[in-house]
Amino acid sequence: MAHISASVYTSHVPAIGAALDLGKSHEPYWKQVFDGYEYSKQWLKEQKPDVIFLVFNDHATAFSLDMIPTFAIGTAPEFIPADEGWGPRPVPKVIGHPKLASHIAQSVIQQDFDLTIVNKMDVDHGLTVPLSLMTGKPQAWPCPVIPFAVNVVQYPVPSGQRCYNLGKAIRKAIESYDEDLNVQIWGTGGMSHQLQGPRAGLINKEFDNAFLDDLINDPDALARKPHIDYVREAGSEGIELVMWLIARGAMDDAAGGPKPVLKHRFYHVPASNTAVGHLILENSQ
């Protein structure tokens, strides 16, 4: 049977991708960010996941205002890195896993979450920057990826509680898949940042670190945090953090199993306008 072995959490700032693509990763400003992922790159190589289920948000790239799905699962065989206006990132195309993705879609919808099934979708920095942070500049991504896009652009976005519960449903779906697959689930976005208006540039280290603490130790309580707390404390775009709760809800302890093991924790300010946070949690076997 397929199983979720670990979850990874990371910010997905576009400037991080640009820094890597333009060969700036050794500049002092960026080195401080990339150094936080050195352990993670090695860890990922050793873990050899068969599939990564990657929760991210589309930033007005694949989804315009013509259609705004709250939860969208990518079931295509491949996904092309998008031109977001600066030209497409020079990164490998993303190979999907249509069979597992379709299985998850069917199972999760039967568990009362109304997913949008997407067979054609270009993927933006929200998806490719986490892959770059965790792998560097490979010729091909290390394994197939199932993109899972969450609307955090137009309010109201899904609540933390709904995201956490969705993670539980995704876990059930993956564990009911017959093939023996090592699956990781990644939650991306955040941490504190605001990109608009006179309050742009907001950063809240206390909020971010409390969020990391709670995500590790008390996700049930964290899931109850209302949207307004994210907006007020972590900036209007800090709301992206609800996506981390999807990955956290898919871990064993959310279904009554043992607590996960914290393998890595990193926090740094700034990357462009944003606080960078990163965690790796492994399910204990």
Partner 1 sequence: MSLDKPYLDVPGTTIFDAEQSRLGYHLNQFCMSLMKADNRARFKADERAYLDEWPMSEDQKQAVLARDLNRCIALGGNIYFLAKIGATDGKSFQQMAGSMTGMTEEAYRDMMINGGRSVEGNRRIGEQQGEKK
Which residues carry out catalysis?
Answer: 125, 193
Nearer to partner 1, 219 or 235 (CB): 235
Host H or E run for residue 278: strand 274-282
Encoding tokens for residue 39? 């352990």
Encoding tokens for residue 271? 């990357």
Q: How many residues bind partner 1 (CB under 8 A)?
A: 47
Query: Residue 61 interacts with partner 1 (CB under 8 A)?
Result: yes
**Residues between 149 and 188 that touch partner 1 (CB under 8 A):** 153-156
Among 12, 59, 162, 248, binds partner 1 (CB under 8 A): 59
Nearer to partner 1, 28 or 256 (CB): 28
Side-chain-side CA neighbours of residue 197 (13 Å): 7
Q: What is the CA radius of gyration of the chain?
A: 17
What is the x/- site pattern for partner 1, positions 108-147, by CB under 8 A?
----------------------------------------
Q: How far is the CB of 50 from partner 1 (least distance, A)?
A: 32
Kindly provide the b/e burial profile for residues 24-38, where b requires at least 16 CB atoms within 10 angstroms of the residue's own CB.
ebeeeebeebbebbe
> Where does 63-142 show beta strands of DSSP type E?
71-74, 78-79, 94-95, 116-118
Kindly provide the b/e burial profile for residues 55-80, where b requires at least 16 CB atoms within 10 angstroms of the residue's own CB.
bbbbbebbbeeeeebbbbbbbbeebe
**Residues between 14 and 53 that touch partner 1 (CB under 8 A):** 14-15, 18, 29
| One-letter amino acid of 57 | N
Query: Residue 203 interacts with partner 1 (CB under 8 A)?
Result: yes
Q: With CB under 8 A as the contact rule, which of the stretches 45-53, 76-84, 102-110, 166-174 interacts with partner 1?
A: 76-84
Query: Residue 86 interacts with partner 1 (CB under 8 A)?
Result: yes
- Site of interaction with partner 1 (CB under 8 A): 14-15, 18, 29, 59-61, 64-66, 82-87, 153-156, 192, 194-205, 207, 226-228, 231-233, 236-237, 269-270, 272-273, 275
